[in-house]
């Protein structure tokens, strides 16, 4: 049976509750396991402080007491037997004696620093049930032999394997808890593997035990495409290659210790990064090769607190050994160089290094080039501080043209200036030095650029009703402006169209003018097949435009988005339907699919965009108030008693302002859905059932067929005239308003607004939305404009299509 290795960091074993969770994770499998553990969070730092205080003859007993009590408290909370607590007491008494006789020898310091892993491993073994539960404990100092090297600590594999074999002879348990971080050198002296060395330990022991896989448990779901604190939409990578992981590890990613990769690469050991706090997440798997990805870049890292050191001068051109002298001087001073850049003119050479080493580096290079500087052959050594290094890493970059162009274009669009550039021959890493104040903006710009695909879109349109037909006409009219790489670089390729029962699929492209007519000869509708066709493997991007009003179609959005299909829609069922589905749709966008639904609220008006802009810049929504139906706006702008209400409804239907069944508008459900969408956009957990809705449809007409309803429209006149007369007696008019108050109460219905209300000054089909926010508290932010009619709504949908295209790099 294969053995599996696990590593748990300090946060995973920070207290008794976490240790129980770790034990539970390990007990879920019947395969043989080894578990390499770090010290409890903060303990290694505490031990280092104790050792330093003892060496400096400063007080340390108070800190020792607190550390002792911390571990004994965890033991008590784990309800371990008295033998374990007695063992801990002896351990801390031994530490007390060690600190009482401090020594400047490295072994003394290493002995103290490594005790945290010794203690945490014993506590975890106890939580797992000790030897009685088939769990042994291995102190790595009994087995692991290492030696120092210029590139870090190296392993004496032969000696370590011999000692492990001997240890296994005496310990037959199937499962083993192992101390991370600690080892012995070739002379038998206790040593450590360096800060964060437990990751390295876990890879070493996974190889020594011939493990099938190593899982490193941490407090994140895996390796992310970027730091989520800086890039909120960073995604967890499903897989990476060793090479990609090495680049990210050596370039500052915090998930992996830089040396962890070496043993794994040599042994072909798969590594998986998983989250102790979210064990259901599959994590990131690191192997020889990774799964192909839509983007050539797997991750972006940002290294802050850097500086650029530059040596320049005409006398350097063509002079052999310049770089050697410069870097020899830096090496002699122990200065680590992060990246190097030199132009082919050889007029200057620069490198990026840690800011705290910059002055030492400047002095060293000045001394090395003292003669050249005094003779005027070199202009001197210049240091620029306040630098960050942004690196893009990915196997997909190898041999892929245009990767650098995308990075530089993304940074240029964000107005981020590049100070220096470096790219290795492996093509897996492009690094740029930028100003620290531009770092976050640059990282987000680069992330956007690389998680998007080329600008050809395979498009499918569902629902060629009034809005759908208008959209197809607009696509046909715009094709000459936008389609083709020789024009604007945007290829909107209509490859599928569908109505409620049939669909027409095209291997190349459909003419938008003929698409609706072709449905007569189409095949039966199959939404899964429709989506698979649109998501053609040979085309870089796919988009489904849903112009239907179908809840069934909206139910597919999350799956489409998860598959990387962009979705644009005026269909309100997604945004106002079940909250669970709405959250699933939003979550699915993390897979790369864009979801645009501006036309669900204000037709062609930038309602959602305006609200989103305020929220994204730190504003807070308090209230929403306004006219959210162009149809109802038209009706009540016209309804003054001179013409009956039923006549106005019939006229609006003839003009195409209402739905085929006017009750869809008069019921208020459509307005309520829009209010729910806006509320959710602002972070409110509002459902349609939470909205108080006043319907303008009499109960007697609610359930009759459409024809009967249209023939009995006159039954609306008396109640509506009564409402109008009541409003007129107070000198007011009627408006159908949507309202969300600061307490989260939502209502849509007929009201008689006070004089001065913005809705009284709207024109015909104008939608009018007032956003009351923290910034706009006294004078609300108003979005107003036409909100009814298929042409206007289709234009809003088309605007969303173009917005996605622009995000993908197209410039229509």
CB 779 within 8 A of CB 623: no
- Report the relative pairing of strands 766-773 and 781-786 from DSSP bridges: antiparallel
Among 439, 436, 442, residue whose Cα is nearest residue 414: 442
Among 340, 444, 439, 430, residue whose Cα is nearest residue 393: 430
Which H or E run contains 385?
strand 380-393
Alpha helices in 565-638 (DSSP H): 573-576, 579-588, 599-602, 607-616, 630-638
CB 503 within 8 A of CB 495: no
Farthest-apart Cα atoms in the chain, separation: 105
- Report the relative pairing of strands 271-275 and 284-287 from DSSP bridges: antiparallel
CB 6 within 8 A of CB 33: yes
Q: Is 654 left (phi over 0), alpha (psi -120 to 50) or beta?
A: alpha
- Structure tokens given for 19: 């240790």
Q: List, edge to edge, every strand of the sheet that includes 429-435.
A: 337-342, 348-354, 299-312, 380-393, 429-435, 418-423
Residue 230, Cβ density class (10 Å: 0-12 exposed, 13-18 middle, ≥19 buried): middle
Q: Select which of 254, 674, 702, 728 is catalytic.
A: 674
Distances (CA, A) of 583 to 558, 567, 598, 724: 9, 15, 17, 41
* DSSP code, position 572: T
All residues at 6 or more sequence positions from 255 whose CB lies less than 8 Å from its CB, including other chains: 216, 218, 220, 222, 223, 224, 248, 249, 273
Residue 674 annotated as catalytic: yes
Among 614, 597, 611, 626, residue whose Cα is nearest residue 796: 597
Residue linked to tokens 């730190």: 618
Q: At 285, phi and psi to the nearest 5? A: -105, 130
The Cα 525–Cα 673 span in angstroms is: 27
Distances (CA, A) of 285 to 236, 275, 319, 403: 11, 13, 47, 24
Distances (CA, A) of 89 to 86, 119, 179: 5, 11, 19
Residue positions counted in the chain = 812
Which H or E run contains 470?
helix 466-482
User: Helices 82-100 & 106-113, crossing angle to 10 degrees?
Assistant: 150
Three-class SS state of 135: strand
Cα 465–chain centre separation: 37
Three-class SS state of 420: strand
- Structure tokens given for 264: 């794994």
Among 269, 266, 249, residue whose Cα is nearest residue 258: 249
Q: List, edge to edge, every strand of the sheet that includes 135-138.
A: 135-138, 175-179, 33-37, 4-8, 213-218, 271-275, 284-287, 239-241
Distances (CA, A) of 462 to 142, 200, 392, 633, 674: 68, 54, 38, 28, 21
CB 129 within 8 A of CB 173: no
The Cα 460–Cα 568 span in angstroms is: 10
SS3 string, 659-670, reads CCCCHHHHCCHH
Q: Give the residue numbers annotated as catalytic, written as ranges.
A: 674
């Amino acid at each position: 049976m294969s053995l599996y290795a696990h590593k748990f960091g300090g946060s995973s074993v920070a207290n008794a509750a976490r240790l129980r969770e770790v034990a539970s994770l390990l007990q879920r499998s019947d395969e043989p396991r080894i578990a390499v553990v770090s010290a409890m969070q903060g303990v290694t730092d505490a031990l280092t402080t104790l050792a330093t205080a003892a060496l400096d003859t400063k007080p340390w007993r108070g800190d020792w007491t607190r550390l002792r009590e911390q571990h004994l408290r965890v033991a008590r909370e784990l309800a371990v037997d008295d033998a374990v607590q007695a063992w801990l007491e002896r351990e801390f008494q031994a530490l007390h004696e060690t600190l009482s006789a401090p020594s400047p020898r490295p072994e003394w310091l290493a002995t103290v620093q490594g005790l945290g892993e010794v203690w945490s491993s014993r506590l975890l073994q106890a939580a797992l049930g000790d030897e009685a539960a088939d769990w042994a404990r291995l102190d790595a100092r009994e087995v692991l032999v290492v030696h120092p090297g210029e590139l870090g600590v190296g392993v004496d594999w032969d000696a370590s394997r011999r000692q492990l074999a001997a240890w296994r002879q005496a310990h037959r348990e199937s499962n083993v808890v192992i101390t991370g971080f600690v080892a012995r050198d070739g002379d038998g002296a206790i040593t450590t593997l360096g800060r964060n060395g437990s990751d390295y330990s876990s890879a070493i022991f996974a190889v020594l035990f011939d493990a099938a896989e190593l899982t490193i448990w941490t407090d994140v779901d895996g390796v992310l495409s970027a730091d989520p604190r800086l890039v909120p939409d960073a995604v967890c990578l499903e897989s990476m290659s060793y090479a990609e992981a090495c680049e990210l590890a050596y370039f500052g990613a915090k998930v992996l210790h830089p040396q962890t990769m070496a043993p794994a690469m040599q042994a072909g050991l798969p590594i998986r990064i998983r989250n102790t706090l979210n064990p259901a997440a599959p994590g990131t798997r690191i192997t020889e090769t990774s799964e192909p990805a839509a983007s050539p870049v797997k991750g972006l890292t940002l290294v802050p607190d850097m500086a650029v050191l530059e040596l320049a001068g005409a006398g350097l051109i063509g002079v052999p050994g310049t770089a050697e002298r410069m870097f020899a001087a830096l090496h002699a001073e122990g200065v680590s160089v992060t990246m190097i850049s030199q132009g082919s003119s050889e007029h200057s050479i620069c490198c990026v290094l840690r800011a705290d080493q910059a002055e030492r580096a400047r002095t060293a290079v000045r001394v090395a080039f003292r003669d050249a500087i005094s003779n005027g052959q070199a202009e001197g050594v210049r240091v620029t501080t306040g630098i960050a290094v942004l690196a893009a890493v990915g196997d997909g970059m190898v041999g892929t043209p245009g990767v650098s162009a995308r990075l530089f274009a993304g940074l240029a669009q964000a107005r981020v200036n590049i100070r220096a550039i470096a790219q290795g021959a492996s093509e897996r890493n492009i690094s740029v030095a930028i100003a620290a104040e531009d770092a976050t903006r640059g990282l987000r710009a680069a992330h956007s650029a690389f998680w998007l695909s080329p600008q050809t879109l395979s498009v499918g349109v569902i629902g060629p009703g009034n809005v759908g037909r208008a959209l197809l006409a607009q696509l046909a009219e715009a094709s000459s402006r936008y389609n083709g790489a020789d024009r604007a670089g945007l290829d909107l390729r209509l490859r599928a169209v569908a109505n409620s029962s049939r669909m027409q699929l095209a291997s190349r492209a459909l003419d938008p003018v003929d698409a609706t007519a072709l449905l007569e000869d189409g095949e039966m509708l199959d939404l899964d097949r429709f989506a698979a066709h649109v998501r053609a493997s040979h085309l870089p991007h796919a988009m489904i435009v849903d112009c239907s009003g179908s809840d069934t179609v909206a139910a597919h959005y999350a799956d489409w988005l998860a598959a990387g299909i962009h979705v644009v829609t005026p269909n309100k069922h997604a945004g106002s339907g079940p909250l669970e589905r709405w959250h699933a749709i939003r979550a699915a966008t993390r897979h790369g699919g864009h979801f645009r639904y501006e036309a669900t609220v204000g037709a062609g008006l930038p309602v959602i965009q305006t609200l989103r802009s305020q929220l994204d810049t730190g504003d807070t929504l308090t209230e929403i108030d306004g006219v959210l139906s162009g149809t109802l706006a038209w009706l009540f702008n016209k309804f003054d008693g001179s013409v009956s209400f039923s006549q106005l409804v019939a006229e609006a239907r003839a003009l195409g302002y209402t739905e085929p069944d006017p009750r869809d508008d008069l019921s208020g459900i459509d307005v309520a859905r829009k209010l729910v969408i806006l509320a959710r956009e602002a972070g409110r957990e509002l459902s349609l059932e939470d909205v108080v809705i006043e319907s303008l449809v009499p109960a007697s007409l609610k359930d009759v067929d459409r024809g009967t309803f249209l023939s009995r429209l006159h039954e609306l006149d008396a109640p509506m005239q009564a409402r109008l007369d009541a409003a007129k007696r107070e000198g007011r008019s009627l408006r159908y308003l949507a309202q969300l108050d600061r307490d989260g109460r939502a209502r849509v219905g007929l009201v008689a607004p006070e004089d001065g209300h913005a809705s009284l000054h709207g024109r015909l089909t104008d939608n009018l939305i007032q956003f009351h926010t923290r910034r706009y508290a006294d004078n609300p932010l108003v979005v107003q404009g036409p909100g009814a009619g298929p042409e206007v709504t289709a234009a809003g949908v088309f605007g969303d299509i173009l917005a996605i295209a622009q995000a993908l790099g197209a410039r229509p």
